[in-house]
Structures are given as C-alpha cells and as structure tokens.
Structure 1
Amino acid sequence: MDLPAEPQIRWILRTTATLLDLGAEPVRGLIQPNGDFFPDTFDASPRAAAAVLARVQEHAALADTKIALNIITPEGEARAGGGCSSGACATPSTGNGEKFERVTLLADGGYLVSVAAAELRHPVVLTTAFVRAISFIFLTEAGAWESLQPRDREPAIDLAAILLGFGVLVANGSYIYAKGCGGVQVHSATRMPVDEVTLALAIFCRLHQIPDRTAMRHLELTPRAHFEESAVWTASNTSLLKLLRDDPARIAADGYDLSESRSWLARVLGIGVRRAPTLDDELVAFERSLPQGRPRTPALSQNPAQKAKLAELRALVDESLES
C-alpha cells in the first residue's frame, strides 16, 4: 500500500497542528465500534439511530450541545427518533430526493443533523455520517470552521474527527465494500481517501501512545493494510511528530524534512540510514579522484602531496584492521 503524496502528508501535519491548538483532543481515547462504546442495541430504527448519535455526541464531549436528529424519507413521511437525554431527538421532515444539508445551524443556537432513511440500513455509513456531523459541530463551536480555507473544510472534518478519537470509525467509513448487480463496488462516506485517513490515524496513535494493534483490532481489511504502512512511516518520523506539540509554528511553515518509511528491523540495524563515511570510503573516493587513463604510480610520484595523503589513508586503514 502506498502512502499519500508528500503535499498531502504536509497538509495533514499542518492541519493537525492547527486543530490540536484548537483543542481537538480525545475525551474517551480511541473510540472503537464495539459494545464498550456503543452498548445500545441497533435495529435500524429511528430510535436506535438517535441513540447512536447520542453516543457519538457524548464521546466528543458535546453532550451539552443541543442537537436534533432529522431522518429524511423518500416518501416524505415524518420519522420520529424518540427522546434521548442528550437532545439528539428526531424531528419531522419530508424527503423529495434532492440533496440535503447534513448539519443545519438552528436559530436557537442548536444543530439539526439529517440522515437519509436508507442510511439507517448501513451501520458503517450511518456511524460515519454521525461522526462527521459531530466533528463539524466541534469545528463550528471551536471557531475553526470560518478560519479554514474553503477547499480544506470538508477534509478537515474527517481530520478533526480522527483527532477527537473516531479514527477507526472514519477509516472504516472511508473504504466500504458494497455488493450490487454489477459486482462488488467501493464507496466512501468520507472526503479524505483511505490512505490519508489511516495516516492521520497512525499519527493520532503515535501522539497519544496508543499501540498500533489496538487500532487495527477493529479496522476492516483495506484500511488495516493502509494503516500498517502508515504506522511504519510514523515510527520512522517520531522526531517530526513531536513538533506537532513542541513547535507547531515550524510545522505550519513546512520547516522540516520527511523521512522514508523503514521497518522495525531496518531501524534497529540502521538499514536505510545514510552513515558517515569510513576510512575505506575515503580511500576509495580518493583513488577514484586520481587522473584516469594513465598508470597511477607515476602520477603519484609526480605529486608528493597526493602520495603522502594516500599513504596516510592506507596506514590508518591498516591500523584499524589490526586493532
């Protein structure tokens, strides 16, 4: 699996530094799609969807924010989601097949999160939609949305969600296999592609000292493969990742170099790292610098300085081999 292109890696690092400064930190650690974080029974009903939204809202420390759930049906019928203590309750709405806003800011300062009724049948799609909606609300409440460049806003929603602890859910939502009449197709419920999402997840794990195996435990096949490659890259760039907290201005200014990915064994053995030249290297380089096309011994006899330098290097090599 390939890593993102360097411009995208730098964008991820630069935007991560900005979001960290705005408080994009996990409250519940790394959120996993299991019963520990989502204990409610899910039966694809509006009430079950409201419970999932309430859990996501709670895990992002936004439980006090007024949020309502709106389920859009193709028939134009109202669907009630039932009550919930967090305020994530469904309100009537009609669906006419047109695109709709995922999140709407209400006049009272609250938010309306809308999902299509068809999304209730796909837990990964639904959960990803809720995570991105809550991430947008976080960016809005933190005052970051308007400060972002318009082209960066949608991918920043994914990145903020990852930094809030929802990286595994976002990664699984970035690469979804769907079977249809034409065979297996791949869909994405995110704006960032899977390679960028998993790199951001690997950076998150490194920042918060979360073992890679913990993140991989609930990753689907393709996101898992991408994450494994990303984890190798982050392990090869630990000093760089420290700058995200220690010197975010340097990250923002792109004042750093990226290191290539090297496996654990390569890092231990020093494989792939440019070493300092040895005496043998200097000797070879010196001999290569001598004039070509004529015998070297006469050439040395005509240049005492070169002859002395070569003798000195040979003596040092011999001494090194004998010691």
Structure 2
Amino acid sequence: MLNLVKTQPLLDEGTEAWILDTFLWAYQEFDGDALLNEMRFILPNGEFFPEQVNSIEQMASYVFTQVKGYAGMQAWPIQLVAPNQISEQSFPLLEFSGVKRGDNAELVSASGSLQISFNPNQINQPQDLIASFSQSLAHINVLHNRSLPPGGQELVPQAVDLLACFMGFGVMMANTAYQFRGGCGSCYNPYANRSATLAEPELIYILALLLKAKNLPLSHISSHLKPHLRSLLKRANKQLENTISQSANPMLIALTEAK
C-alpha cells in the first residue's frame, strides 16, 4: 500500500534558506575549516563539565572557563566579572596571527580587554548558563568580524544563536530555547532563562546540519536532547537531506557530503 502520509517539513522554505545561507556565511567568516574540524558537540554531562564547585562565583567562573576553552577562544582577552562590576566598554582592536580560534590561535595585539558577566539566577540551571555564555562569545565574534550576516543588522541576534551552535553549543541552545511556565509555580524562575532569538525548530535544524557536516549520526546527540526535540531532529534531518539532494550550491554540497 502506498504511504499517503507525508512528513511535514520542520521549517518553511524562507527560514530554511536563511539558515543555510547564514551557515555558509559563518563558515566563510569564522575560520570554518578550523571550527568544524575542532568543534565538538558540547554535552550537559560530566565529560565536559566534570568538576564540582561550592559557590555561585566558583560555578560561574568554572563554567565560563570551560565554555571559553570549548569555543576555542583561550587567546581572547575576555574576563568574567560579577554583575555589579560590569561597566560600559568599547570594543577593543584585536589582531590575531592566522586563525582566531583554537589551540593555534595567537593574539598579536589588543587595545584593551572585554568583560562579560553572568546571571546568578542561572546557577541552578547550568544549561541556561552555558548557552548564555556561548551566546556572549558568539556575539563577540560577530562584533570583531564586522561582517553582517544574511538579512543584515536586524538578523544579527539570530546569527549569533546560529554561530553559538556552530561553536559546539547547539544541544544546550536547543534545550533552553523554550521554558515551560506551568507546574507548581515555585519551580519556574523567569529571571533564570536565557534570551533566545531562534526557536527550537530552527536550532534543531542547525544541529542536523552540523551533524551532517561532521558526518555524525543523529544518535550522537539525540539522547542529550529534551525528549520532544528528538522527533524534531529526525524531521529536520529528512528535510535537510531532501534540500541537499535538490541543491545546486557547490559549497553546501561539499560541506555536507559524506567524508
């Protein structure tokens, strides 16, 4: 019997096209080869965050150091400060020798340093804290690069979310994109939630795209996603495969073909 039930695409054509265009923009503008070769999918477990800490400040400092390292930004002059210590700052001039991220990145000169802070309410929601730090670091990359994404200035926040995924933090980005507001009331803290500009379907599609670019199966990350996101990942992957099979973009084909 013919299967008359078709799986609906996860994203509309316009949204999918923007993600694919912005993915290629990120690849071209942010040391794509180095980033993809060195990038790992950072997961919310003890493999990536093994230490135990005893205070809000220690937790924030430890998570920030881990996230900065996984983002390949060890060489960047970025300091974590307490919320009451953050001050107005202008973006410094930074000069790197060769690549800007990873173990081989070398900062040649800097006209100053950068400060970022943290939300103390997120200490008990570590995935939100990790995702928020990754957003901040991705935003710094976009500011330093000064190249606008497809869609221009208005879509910079969305491009920041995509770049945070590109840097390895897509699982946490997807898991924290939507916050359930029901339940007993005492379990929900709106001040602890991160600010998401891409919704779950868009972030899941980006994850499927990154898995394809890394030639990894869906099972590599699916068990670490919230249960309702796993079926979305399958739909995203199916839509992506259909799109690639019909694409004439040689760069997209080359990035996603089996390696």
Which range, TM-score by smaller chain? 0.7 to 0.9
Q: 2: CA distance between counterparts of 1:2 and 1:184?
A: 32
Q: 2: CA distance between counterparts of 1:160 and 1:200?
A: 10
> RCO greater where, 1 or 2, for CA within 8 Å and sep 6 or more?
2
Identify unmatched segments of 5+ residues in structure 1: 73-77, 79-91, 95-100, 249-323
CA separation of 1:244/1:13 partners in 2, compared to 1, >3 Å: closer, same or farther?
A: farther
**Counterpart in the other structure of 1:230:** 236
Q: 2: CA distance between counterparts of 1:244 and 1:51?
A: 41
CA separation of 1:189/1:146 partners in 2, compared to 1, >3 Å: closer, same or farther?
A: closer
CA shift digits 1:84-119 (9 cap, x unpaired)? xxxxxxxx359xxxxxx9x97368432211222222
Question: In 1, are the aligned partners of 2:60 and 2:118 still within 8 Å (CA)?
Answer: no
Identify unmatched segments of 5+ residues in structure 2: 1-7, 94-110, 255-259
Partner of residue 15 from structure 1, selected from 9, 22, 33 = 22
CA shift digits 1:143-163 (9 cap, x unpaired)? 335897111100000111111
Q: 2: CA distance between counterparts of 1:140 and 1:93?
A: 18
Identity of aligned residues (%): 20
Question: In 2, are the aligned partners of 1:177 and 1:185 still within 8 Å (CA)?
Answer: no
Q: What secondary structure sits across from 1:68 in the alignment?
A: strand
Q: 2: CA distance between counterparts of 1:171 and 1:241?
A: 26
Which amino acid counterpart does residue 200 of structure 2 have in structure 1?
V
Question: In 2, are the aligned partners of 1:136 and 1:157 still within 8 Å (CA)?
Answer: yes
Q: 2: CA distance between counterparts of 1:113 and 1:233?
A: 37
For 1:268-307, list aligned pairs within 5 A. none
Q: What secondary structure sits across from 1:174 in the alignment?
A: coil
Which amino acid counterpart does residue 91 of structure 2 have in structure 1?
L
Q: 2: CA distance between counterparts of 1:185 and 1:221?
A: 22
Which amino acid counterpart does residue 52 of structure 1 have in structure 2?
V
Question: In 2, are the aligned partners of 1:71 and 1:117 still within 8 Å (CA)?
Answer: no
Which amino acid counterpart does residue 72 of structure 2 have in structure 1?
A
- Normalising by the residue count of structure 1, what TM-score does the alignment of the two structures yield? 0.60
Q: Tell me how far 1:244 sits from its aligned partner.
A: 6.4
Does residue 59 of structure 2 align to residue 48 of structure 1?
yes
Q: Tell me how far 1:2 sits from its aligned partner.
A: 5.8
Which amino acid counterpart does residue 21 of structure 1 have in structure 2?
Q
Tell me which structure has the larger Cα radius of gyration: 1
Which amino acid counterpart does residue 161 of structure 2 have in structure 1?
D
**Counterpart in the other structure of 2:143:** 140
CA separation of 1:104/1:239 partners in 2, compared to 1, >3 Å: closer, same or farther?
A: farther
Question: In 1, are the aligned partners of 2:25 and 2:150 still within 8 Å (CA)?
Answer: no
- Normalising by the residue count of structure 2, what TM-score does the alignment of the two structures yield? 0.74
**Counterpart in the other structure of 1:112:** 115
Q: What secondary structure sits across from 1:115 in the alignment?
A: coil
CA separation of 1:184/1:110 partners in 2, compared to 1, >3 Å: closer, same or farther?
A: closer
Does residue 134 of structure 2 align to residue 131 of structure 1?
yes
Q: How many residues align?
A: 223
Question: In 1, are the aligned partners of 2:131 and 2:194 still within 8 Å (CA)?
Answer: no
**Counterpart in the other structure of 2:13:** 6
Question: In 2, are the aligned partners of 1:128 and 1:189 still within 8 Å (CA)?
Answer: no
**Counterpart in the other structure of 1:181:** 185
Q: What secondary structure sits across from 2:228 in the alignment?
A: helix
Question: In 1, are the aligned partners of 2:149 and 2:159 still within 8 Å (CA)?
Answer: no
Q: What secondary structure sits across from 2:249 in the alignment?
A: helix
**Counterpart in the other structure of 1:207:** 213
Q: What secondary structure sits across from 1:192 in the alignment?
A: coil
Q: 2: CA distance between counterparts of 1:235 and 1:227?
A: 12
CA separation of 1:2/1:146 partners in 2, compared to 1, >3 Å: closer, same or farther?
A: closer
Of 44-53 and 156-165, the range deviating more from structure 2: 44-53
For 1:22-61, list aligned pairs within 5 A. 22=29, 23-24=31-32, 25-26=35-36, 27-43=38-54, 45-61=56-72
Q: 1: CA distance between counterparts of 2:148 and 2:46?
A: 32
CA separation of 1:44/1:159 partners in 2, compared to 1, >3 Å: closer, same or farther?
A: farther
Q: CA RMSD in A?
A: 3.1
CA separation of 1:137/1:145 partners in 2, compared to 1, >3 Å: closer, same or farther?
A: farther
